[in-house]
Amino acid sequence: MLIATPYVLDYDLMMLAVAIAFYVRHGLARGFHDFELSLLVFVWVAPLLTRPVADATGIPLGLIAQIIFFVMAIDRARRELAIPQGSVRLAQA
């Protein structure tokens, strides 16, 4: 049983604009990784290309853009919250 439809349309991707704005603000403050700017441009442009690409090829570009952004955000959080090697983590009392 499906809880939601498996379709991501171009107007659904407008929700990413706020998340991208916060991501860019964070990246400007702390720096971007090498690949992040290229992927951010792809995710930003994806709503414009989703429908024509899906009509021509059947490739769900919107879903791919959302997955890329999600993985990119998780990777940044994982890198920034990583404990440096050799440090001792104190237990919370």
pLDDT over threshold 70, residue 92: no
Tell me the per-residue pLDDT of 52-87, one tens digit each, with 9 for 90 and over: 888 899 888 888 999 999 999 988 888 888 755 555
What pLDDT is stored for residue 13 in this prediction?
82
pTM greater than 0.85 (yes/no):
no
Report DSSP letters for 39-54, one per residue. Answer: HHHHHHHHHHHHHHHH
Distance CA 52, CA 88 (A): 52
Q: How confident is the model at residue 5 (pLDDT cuts 50, 70, 90)?
A: low
Parse the chain into domains and list their residue ranges: 10-80
What pLDDT is stored for residue 47 in this prediction?
87
Pair 26, 75: CB distance under 8 Å? no
Average pLDDT of the residues of the chain: 83
pLDDT over threshold 90, residue 41: yes
What pLDDT is stored for residue 2 in this prediction?
65
* Chain position carrying tokens 């939601």: 4
